[in-house]
Homo-oligomer: A and B are copies of this chain.
Amino acid sequence: MNFNKVLENMKIYEAGKPIELVVRKFGIKKKNIVKLASNENPHGCSPKVSEAISKISDRMNLYPDDSFYELKDGLAKRFLVKSENIIIGAGSDQVIEFAVGAKCGKKSGVLMAKTTFAMYEIYARKMGAEIFRTPSHQHNLNEFLEIYKKHKDEIGIIFLCLPNNPLGESLDRRDVYKFIKQIDDDTMVVVDGAYQEYTRYKDEKKLIEPQKLLKKFSNVLYLGTFSKAYGLGGMRVGYGIGNVDIILALSKLRPPFNITTLSLRAGIEALKDEKFVQTAIKDNFKQMKRYEQFCDEYGFKYIESFTNFITIYIDRDSTEIFDELFKKGVIIRNLKSYGLNAIRVTIGTKNQNDLFFKKFKEVY
């Protein structure tokens, strides 16, 4: 059977290795496996959210309220925007897909940092769009601007991943504003703030807020998610905040019931327990210090991180280190495929990090 030509340039996405695979492959017991590979919140989610989900676990037969009225209302209040400025996605991933679908085609392209969130490229390829990347791995706005000016007519979307996954760096808000001002109204600038809750805690100068973007710019789409700080990675709930024009265009691409009934409830309840989120973030940066010390001890360079993970340059082959840790039940991310001899480690709980440091010592 013949298929669409765009498929030829697409690979099947390989997600981070799941714990179940290590159990199946190496026969290691589940409790001895630590997964620090997918930037999940190691503290789980708010117990209030778990409780709310248990309570409605007999209502899985019912489709969710597809208007997502209550969730949008909660987000609108949190971010001081209107419900009509919000679109809900199955993770912010799906909002990326809507954005690329609404804006890009074979005649247009997307611009992003050399090393950034993999899904931008995957969705762009699906649309047959051209990919432009900066020479630097980390976000460099001068490079972004230079490429943008050269390919102004082709570039439909610019992705700024702030802070950046998988590297962890972020940019000062003021520089971001200055950059966006120079972009034409017809080019969409996506500010992916999946980890902004962490950034807000660590460095207020780097905090980017959707309501301020909305006031300043008509062409910006801000992305947020419940997958990281809110501890709901497994529930697939994200959102986009932007101009009504943009939200309406993206809404045409949103399939009905794109999040589950339980995910909807989880998102609504999660917004009510900010204390859980802040406690987890505080612990994250406390534990992050241990990784920085670990790097100093081994003499490894690392990127200062505004997220819940850290990217560490290794002086041995990163694939080797990855493989050896994997066999011992420690799952992290190898960044070799990004052209970096580095690993990305999610900041775990104290015990999880203890295990990482111990196993690392064994294999290094």
Contacts and interface: CB of A to CB of B under 8 A. Distances in A.
Interface of A: 1-4, 7, 10-13, 15-16, 18-21, 24, 35, 38, 40-45, 47, 49-51, 53-54, 57-67, 69-70, 90-91, 93-94, 97, 101-105, 119, 122, 126, 185-186, 188, 218-219, 231-236, 243, 245-246, 248-249, 251-263, 266
Contacts of A261: 234-235
A3 B103 contact: yes
A13 B253 CA distance: 9
A13 B256 contact: yes
A65 B70 CA distance: 30
Contact of A69 (B16, B20, B97, B185): B20
A16 to B, nearest CB: 7
A228 to B, nearest CB: 9
Contact of A44 (B60, B101, B252): B60
A8 to B, nearest CB: 9
B234 A1 contact: no
B12 A248 contact: yes
Interface core residue of A3, A49, A102, A263 (most chain B CB under 10 Å): A3
Contact of A232 (B54, B61, B122, B234): B61
A188 to B, nearest CB: 7
Interface core residue of A1, A4, A59, A257 (most chain B CB under 10 Å): A1
B126 A15 contact: no
Contacts of A40: 61-63
A60 B50 contact: yes
Contact of A65 (B7, B21, B119): B21
Contact of A61 (B11, B24, B61, B231): B231
A300 B263 CA distance: 41
Contact of A60 (B49, B59, B246): B49
A67 to B, nearest CB: 7
Nearest to A125: B252
A126 B251 CA distance: 12
Interface core residue of A7, A12, A60, A249 (most chain B CB under 10 Å): A60
A59 B186 contact: no
Nearest to A58: B50
A7 B94 contact: no
A121 B320 CA distance: 49
